[in-house]
């Protein structure tokens, strides 16, 4: 892995890249203690509004702040246009793929994907077989994780097609930046993100059951206050102007979903659910779940309610399926993929496994069904002991792992103890799909690895966030 | 053989519940060797029953009953004509290719002990799939004691295998786990077994497994009785495991404790009884 | 509005109100017990505090006798007491967090700020002085929350349910003081009289922050039957039963108008209010003050159930 591409300074010795010109000038003007002061101010505001997340495995830290970096990450209008096209293509393919695996299964018949990779995949939901959904949309909200390695090359690192989170940070980060740095905003023309909730609500309403005659009633279903993303759930419900419901607020009668209100039962048409498949209906999935709505799948089967995202979309963001995405895009759209896929070794295949075992110190190995950066090995930064431990894990259950080369994620200037320094970043744009097609609010959530040299941007592993600017030119 | 089935599930509540929501998989379908002559479901509480075909092709009914009531009973009864097909199932509703039935579920994970059992059986039985499956069934039938006290609906194959005892559901789970480990698609069948020796009521339905053999298609194996299903077996529901084929899954909102009672009568109809029912 | 949201708003207000009430009881008891014995008699004021807080049975599972230390700890800071001030604030904040979108920013700031500050007191005040400071802080926090709700909430069902919580809790608290101390308020006491009872009456009034109001209303020295009159029948006194029921009926009526229908809760509340309006102190004393309070507590509980059944579940 060479020296990373810096989004402001390019490769070593190059001139400041145009999108960052104004920011570079500003950084040179502004005294360092001002940055530091604003950083503290931002933290105070975040704590005040209560934007927190939970970290699993830390006893005394049920509510913690994600560090916020006050230096924005900037993209030019051209860069964004290219990315937007690629994302649209990718999410269209994901939706077609899901419709197919729960329907005609053409892709299996064509031999593009091995049958068992679908059928034996825990993310595949047999219960969805033959289920139709309004306008053939399964993934209404996708979070596609993008990394960049040079001026022209973007890779998709991961598709998140279940219940992607983080969009509240995208919105709050912008709010805070506008409050803290009005002068910086007056020196740029930045595409707004504040219309995201409106776009989301329009998308959700557009996929209401076809039988809904009046204005659809949309609700947001949360697992409750103890969920790590609860803040986001309540934030979004508020911005959308919809009820934030828990499983116990809903019930099913005669295959129709209702919510319990102070004025009696009220029909529900669209559920933006942030509860995982496993927990959503104890009569169809885990019988011990108390987070779900008993009988929901019957109402869903009857076409009386829309779930966003649909049940079973996990089959599309599975890390083993990921490695087939270029073929999936070609199969359904008959187009070349616009976004690159990171080369991936599937450890379930013996030749791939032996390559991976021989090259562990240079690879990133991930659990197929893991998320949040847990259960992952980063070869170049891991100790010998850690590598050997992982080797044993890998050998005992190879099908659970995939491996990828360690990519040099681009860096972006970031406020650190010693001043401003480059840190590695990724980007999660949020892709909305409704009846009228795909909509993407320019930007997304930039996550930054705050530790020097670290490539892990997950908030649960010490990552922070930045505001993401798409210049409107 | 014509079999008359009467299956009653009764719930008694300490305090009346506000609502009860259930999904029922209690209705058999036709296939070669099985024809449903008549069938009905009757609830003791007024509410709508909604019929739907589930993902595996099972007929399911769902309902929400609004309280208060102290008792809820679900009566299912009907008659089915059966013929012996040597355990081979043809003409049934199939919504998935056999490969799906290699899928693990929480209840059917093969642990080291089950793997050992499966491998040892394969070593003895040789390469013939049908022979191997019969050997698995025979091995289980020998080793495994019928005992209604030791296991529950949540007992996994591995737990039951360790106990060496359990009910038909447990033997079936172990059989499925072992077969899937050996790369043979296998599935859970919930249904009824018509006993000729004893005409009294039973406390539960029956369960057995089906495994897929390339040359024959789906073939039934009943580890409890150590034989392939005969005309005494009535197939009702198919699933990856008990949960997927469970006759009743339900929840309650409000109310106190509940006691559940199941009474199943499965008996051959005599010619006389039949003519009476027609008059 | 979701039933659960209404339920959370209602209990959020109840818990904040209860915390304030507990702080007032502790404050009044502290003053009373600081007086020389000759002024207050030999009764155990701390035991009486536990009784008025309504947690005697659980308290005596933990302690044999009531002392200043263990009562202050149990009512203010104990995690074992589900209704300690600390737990009230914890639960209030838990309810608030569950319905953040139904709160105004100011209300959230008030309750979340209180919850964050609570940690500053660690496991409880270590001195009497610190205890006083803590109790004052609790009362200020409650006032701040109440004020923010009053000044910032939209006047819709969310507001009315949150007000209902305040007045239901208040009515319950005032009734409980009267239930425990009724014997001090019987007219016979006039003859016993003396400084001993004077301080007890003052303490009762202080528990419901009515000592100054008393003088403004009656322009007389403390008389037990007037204290009872003030706490039961005077609508202008914010913590009296009559005033609570005036507010409960007003808020329930607002909900009924807004929803276009009324039910058992409205009928029950109007019934209780009418009885209070038609009562005179003489009559109450004649039929028995204790019986009257007992009946009121039963009726108030019945209203609580009716509200829950009609709206909150």
Is a pLDDT exceeding 90 seen at residue A54?
no
**Quick check: C98 and A225 CB within 8 A?**
yes
C100 touches chain A (CB under 8 A): yes
Does B105 fall in a domain?
Answer: yes
**Quick check: B21 and A295 CB within 8 A?**
yes
The DSSP secondary-structure symbol of C312 reads I
Is a pLDDT exceeding 90 seen at residue C54?
no
Chains adjacent to B (≥3 CB pairs closer than 8 angstroms): A
Q: What's residue C193's pLDDT? A: 46
Identify the closest residue of chain A to C108 by CA–CA distance.
A49
Q: What's residue C187's pLDDT? A: 67
Is a pLDDT exceeding 50 seen at residue A58?
no
Q: How far apart are CA B141 and CA B137, in angstroms?
A: 6
∠ CA A231-C88-C236, nearest 5°, is: 115
A302 touches chain B (CB under 8 A): yes
Rounded to the nearest angstrom, the minimum Cα separation between C313 and chain A is 7
The chain-wide mean pLDDT, for chain B, equals 91
Residue B13 sits in the same domain as residue B53: yes
Percent of chain C with pLDDT over 90: 58
Rounded to the nearest angstrom, the minimum Cα separation between C94 and chain A is 8
Q: What's residue B196's pLDDT? A: 75
Q: What's residue A155's pLDDT? A: 96
CATH number of the domain residue B152 falls in: 3.10.620.30
Q: What's residue C102's pLDDT? A: 85
Q: What's residue A16's pLDDT? A: 92
Task: Find residue A416's DSSP bridge partners.
Answer: A419
In degrees and rounded to multiples of 5, residue C147 shows phi and psi of: -65, -40
More confident residue, A227 or B245: B245
CATH number of the domain residue B254 falls in: 2.60.40.2250
Per-residue pLDDT of C143-200, as tens digits, reads 999 999 999 999 999 999 999 999 999 999 999 888 888 777 776 644 444 556 778 8
Q: Is A437 left (phi over 0), alpha (psi -120 to 50) or beta?
A: left
Q: How many residues are there in chain C?
A: 313
Neighbours of B41 (CB within 10 A): 17
Helices C289-307 and C241-259 pack at an angle, to 10 degrees, of 20
The chain-wide mean pLDDT, for chain A, equals 91
Residue B151 sits in the same domain as residue B230: yes
Residue B57 sits in the same domain as residue B92: no
**Quick check: A243 and C259 CB within 8 A?**
no
Chain A residues touching C105 at Cβ < 8 A: 49
Predicted TM-score (pTM) of the model is 0.87
Residue B97 sits in the same domain as residue B56: no
Residue B66 sits in the same domain as residue B178: no
Q: What's residue C221's pLDDT? A: 85
More confident residue, A89 or A30: A89
Q: Cβ-count burial of A182 within 10 angstroms (0-12 exposed, 13-18 middle, 19+ buried)?
A: exposed
The chain-wide mean pLDDT, for chain C, equals 89
Does B253 fall in a domain?
Answer: yes
Chain A residues touching C5 at Cβ < 8 A: 243
Closest by CA to B114, choosing from B163, B64, B61, is: B163
- A32-43 average pLDDT score: 87
Does B200 fall in a domain?
Answer: no
Q: What's residue C40's pLDDT? A: 61
A127 touches chain B (CB under 8 A): yes
Closest by CA to C19, choosing from C122, C170, C215, C152, is: C170
Residue B114 sits in the same domain as residue B218: yes
Does B30 fall in a domain?
Answer: yes
- A245-269 average pLDDT score: 95
Neighbours of B277 (CB within 10 A): 12
CA atoms within 13 A of residue A276's CA, in its CB half-sphere:
10
Is a pLDDT exceeding 80 seen at residue C23?
yes
Rounded to the nearest angstrom, the minimum Cα separation between C230 and chain A is 35
Residue B77 sits in the same domain as residue B96: no
Q: What's residue C30's pLDDT? A: 87
Chain B residues touching A127 at Cβ < 8 A: 54-55
Residue B229 sits in the same domain as residue B142: yes
Is a pLDDT exceeding 80 seen at residue C300?
yes
Range of the domain at B258: 2-82+247-278
Is a pLDDT exceeding 70 seen at residue A104?
yes
Per-residue pLDDT of A113-124, as tens digits, reads 999 999 999 999
Residue B254 sits in the same domain as residue B272: yes
- Least confident residue range of A258-272, A356-370, B165-179: A356-370
- A434-458 average pLDDT score: 91
Chain A residues touching C311 at Cβ < 8 A: 262
Q: How far apart are CA A256 and CA A218, in angstroms?
A: 14
Q: What's residue C141's pLDDT? A: 96
- A25-32 average pLDDT score: 90
Q: What's residue C196's pLDDT? A: 61
Is a pLDDT exceeding 70 seen at residue A372?
no
Percent of chain C with pLDDT over 70: 95
Chain A residues touching B240 at Cβ < 8 A: 126
C112 touches chain A (CB under 8 A): yes
Chain A residues touching B249 at Cβ < 8 A: 282-284, 287
Q: What's residue B273's pLDDT? A: 43
- For chain B, the domain total comes to 2
Is a pLDDT exceeding 70 seen at residue C250?
yes
Q: How far apart are the first and last CA of chain A?
A: 34
Identify the closest residue of chain C to A239 by CA–CA distance.
C101
Does B198 fall in a domain?
Answer: no
Q: Which of residues 53-72 of B touch A (CB under 8 A)?
A: 54-56, 60, 62, 64, 66
* Structure token pair of residue B3: 């079999």
Percent of chain B with pLDDT over 90: 79
Per-residue pLDDT of A406-418, as tens digits, reads 888 999 999 988 8
Does B59 fall in a domain?
Answer: yes
Residue B135 sits in the same domain as residue B14: no
Residue B103 sits in the same domain as residue B127: yes
Does B154 fall in a domain?
Answer: yes
Q: How many residues are there in chain B?
A: 279
Q: What's residue A370's pLDDT? A: 63
More confident residue, A315 or C286: A315
pLDDT band at A380; cut points 50, 70, 90: confident
**Quick check: A126 and B56 CB within 8 A?**
yes
Does B199 fall in a domain?
Answer: no
Residue B92 sits in the same domain as residue B158: yes
Chains adjacent to A (≥3 CB pairs closer than 8 angstroms): B, C
Residues 6+ apart with CB under 8 A from A44: none
- A384-391 average pLDDT score: 91
Q: What's residue A285's pLDDT? A: 94
Q: What's residue A51's pLDDT? A: 61
A120 touches chain B (CB under 8 A): yes
Q: What's residue C194's pLDDT? A: 53
Is a pLDDT exceeding 80 seen at residue A239?
yes
Q: How far apart are CA A51 and CA A65, in angstroms?
A: 7
Per-residue pLDDT of C86-104, as tens digits, reads 999 999 999 998 888 789 8
Q: How far apart are CA C146 and CA C239, in angstroms?
A: 14
Per-residue pLDDT of A153-204, as tens digits, reads 999 999 999 999 999 999 999 999 999 999 999 999 999 999 999 999 999 9
pLDDT band at A458; cut points 50, 70, 90: confident
Q: What's residue C48's pLDDT? A: 87
pLDDT band at A52; cut points 50, 70, 90: low
Interface of A with C (CB under 8 A): 48-50, 224-225, 230, 234, 237-238, 243-246, 248-249, 259-263
∠ CA A230-A300-A295, nearest 5°, is: 75
Give pLDDT < 50 ranges for chain B: 271-279
* Structure token pair of residue A245: 């419901």
Q: What's residue A59's pLDDT? A: 39
Rounded to the nearest angstrom, the minimum Cα separation between B18 and chain A is 12
β-pairing verdict for A270-273 and A218-221:
parallel
User: A-C interface: how many C-beta pairs under 8 angstroms?
Assistant: 46
């Amino acid at each position: 892995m060479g020296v990373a591409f810096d989004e402001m300074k390019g490769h070593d010795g190059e001139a400041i890249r145009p999108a960052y010109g104004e920011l570079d000038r500003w950084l040179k003007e502004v005294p360092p203690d001002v940055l530091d002061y604003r950083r503290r101010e931002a933290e105070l505001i975040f704590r005040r509004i209560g934007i927190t997340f939970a970290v699993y495995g830390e006893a005394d830290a049920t509510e913690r702040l994600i560090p916020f970096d006050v230096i924005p990450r900037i993209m030019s209008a051209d860069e964004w246009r290219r990315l937007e096209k690629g994302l649209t293509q990718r999410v269209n393919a994901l939706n077609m793929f899901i419709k197919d695996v729960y329907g005609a299964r053409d892709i299996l018949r064509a031999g593009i994907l091995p049958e068992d990779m679908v059928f034996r995949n825990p993310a595949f939901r047999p219960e969805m077989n033959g289920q139709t959904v309004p306008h053939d949309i399964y993934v209404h909200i996708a979070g596609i994780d993008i990394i960049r390695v040079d001026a022209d090359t973007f890779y998709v690192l991961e598709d998140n097609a279940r219940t992607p989170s983080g969009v509240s940070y995208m919105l709050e980060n912008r709010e805070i930046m506008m409050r803290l740095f009005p002068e910086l905003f007056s020196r740029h023309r930045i595409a707004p993100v504040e219309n995201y909730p409106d776009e989301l609500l329009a998308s959700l309403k557009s996929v209401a059951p076809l039988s809904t005659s009046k204005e659809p009633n949309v609700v947001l279903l949360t697992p409750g206050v103890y969920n790590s993303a609860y803040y986001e759930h309540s934030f979004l419900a508020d911005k959308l102007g919809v009820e934030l419901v828990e499983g116990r607020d809903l019930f099913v009668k005669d295959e129709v979903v209702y919510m319990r209100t102070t004025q009696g039962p009220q029909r529900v048409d669209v559920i933006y659910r942030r509860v995982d498949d496993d927990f959503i209906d104890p009569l169809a999935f885990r019988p011990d779940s108390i987070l779900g709505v008993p009988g929901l799948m019957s109402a869903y089967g009857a076409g009386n309610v829309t779930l966003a995202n649909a049940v079973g979309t996990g089959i599309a963001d599975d890390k083993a399926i990921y490695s087939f995405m270029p073929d999936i895009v070609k199969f359904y759209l008959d187009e070349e993929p616009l976004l690159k896929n990171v080369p991936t070794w599937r450890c379930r295949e013996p030749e791939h496994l032996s390559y991976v075992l021989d090259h562990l110190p240079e690879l990133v190995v991930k659990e197929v069904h893991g998320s949040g950066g847990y259960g992952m090995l980063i070869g170049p930064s891991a100790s010998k002991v850690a590598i050997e431990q992982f080797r044993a894990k890998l050998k005992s259950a190879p099908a659970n792992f995939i491996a990828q080369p360690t990519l040099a994620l681009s860096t972006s200037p970031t406020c650190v103890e010693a001043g401003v320094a480059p840190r590695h970043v990724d980007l999660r744009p949020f892709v909305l799909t409704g009846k009228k097609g795909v909509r993407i609010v320019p930007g997304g959530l930039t996550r930054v690895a705050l530790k020097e040299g670290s490539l892990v941007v997950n908030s649960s592993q010490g990552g922070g966030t930045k505001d993401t600017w798409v210049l409107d030119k | 053989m014509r079999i008359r089935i009467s299956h009653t599930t009764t719930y008694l509540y300490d305090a009346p519940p506000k609502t009860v929501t259930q999904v029922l998989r209690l209705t058999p379908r036709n296939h070669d060797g099985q024809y449903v002559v008549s069938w009905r479901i009757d609830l003791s509480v007024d509410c709508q029953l909604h019929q739907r075909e589930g993902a595996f092709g099972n007929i399911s009914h769902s309902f929400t009953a609004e309280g208060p009531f102290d008792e809820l009973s679900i009566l299912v009864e009907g008659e089915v004509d059966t013929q012996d097909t040597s355990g081979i199932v043809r003409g049934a509703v199939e919504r998935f290719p056999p490969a799906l039935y290699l899928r693990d579920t929480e209840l059917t994970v093969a642990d080291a002990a089950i793997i050992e059992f499966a491998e040892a059986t394969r070593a003895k039985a040789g390469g013939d799939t049908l022979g191997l499956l019969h050997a698995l069934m025979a091995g289980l039938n020998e080793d495994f004691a019928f005992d209604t006290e030791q296991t529950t609906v949540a007992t996994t194959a591995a737990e039951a295998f360790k106990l060496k005892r359990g009910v038909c559901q447990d033997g079936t789970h172990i059989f499925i786990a072992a077969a899937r480990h050996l790369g043979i698609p296998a599935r859970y069948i919930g249904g009824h077994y018509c006993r000729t020796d004893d005409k009294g009521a039973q406390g539960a339905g029956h369960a057995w497994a089906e495994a897929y053999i390339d040359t024959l298609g789906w073939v039934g194996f009943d580890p409890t009785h150590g034989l392939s299903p005969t005309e005494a077996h009535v197939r009702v529901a198919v699933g990856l495991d008990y949960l997927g084929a469970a006759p009743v899954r339900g929840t309650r909102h409000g109310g106190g404790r509940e006691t559940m009672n199941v009474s199943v009568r499965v008996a051959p109809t005599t010619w006389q009884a039949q003519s009476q029912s027609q008059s | 509005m979701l039933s659960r949201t209404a339920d959370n708003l209602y209990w959020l207000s109840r818990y904040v109100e209860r915390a304030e009430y507990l702080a007032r009881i502790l404050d009044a008891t502290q003053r009373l017990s600081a007086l020389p014995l000759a002024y207050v008699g030999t009764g155990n004021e701390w035991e009486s505090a536990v009784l008025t807080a309504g947690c005697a049975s659980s308290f005596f599972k933990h302690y044999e006798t009531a002392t200043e230390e263990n009562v202050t700890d149990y009512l203010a800071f104990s995690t074992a007491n589900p209704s300690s001030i600390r737990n009230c604030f914890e639960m209030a904040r838990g309810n608030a967090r569950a319905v953040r979108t139904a709160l105004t920013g100011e209300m959230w700031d008030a309750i979340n700020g209180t919850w964050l500050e609570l940690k500053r007191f660690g496991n409880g005040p270590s001195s009497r002085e610190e205890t006083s400071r803590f109790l004052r802080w609790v009362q200020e926090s409650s006032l701040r929350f109440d004020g923010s709700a009053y000044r910032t909430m939209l006047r819709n069902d969310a507001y009315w349910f949150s007000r209902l919580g305040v007045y239901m809790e208040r009515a319950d608290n005032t009734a409980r003081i009267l239930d425990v101390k009724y014997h001090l308020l019987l007219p016979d006491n006039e003859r016993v009289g003396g400084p001993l009872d004077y301080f007890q009456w003052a303490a009762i009034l202080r528990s419901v922050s009515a000592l100054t109001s008393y003088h403004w209303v009656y322009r007389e020295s403390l008389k037990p039957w007037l204290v009872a009159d003030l706490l039961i029948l005077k609508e202008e006194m914010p913590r009296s039963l009559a005033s609570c029921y005036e507010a409960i009926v007003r808020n329930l009526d607002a909900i009924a108008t807004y929803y276009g229908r009324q039910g058992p809760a409205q009928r029950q509340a109007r019934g209780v209010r009418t009885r209070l309006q038609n009562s005179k102190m003489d009559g109450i004393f004649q039929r028995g003050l204790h019986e009257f309070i007992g009946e009121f507590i039963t009726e108030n509980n019945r209203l609580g159930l009716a509200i829950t059944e009609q709206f909150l579940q």
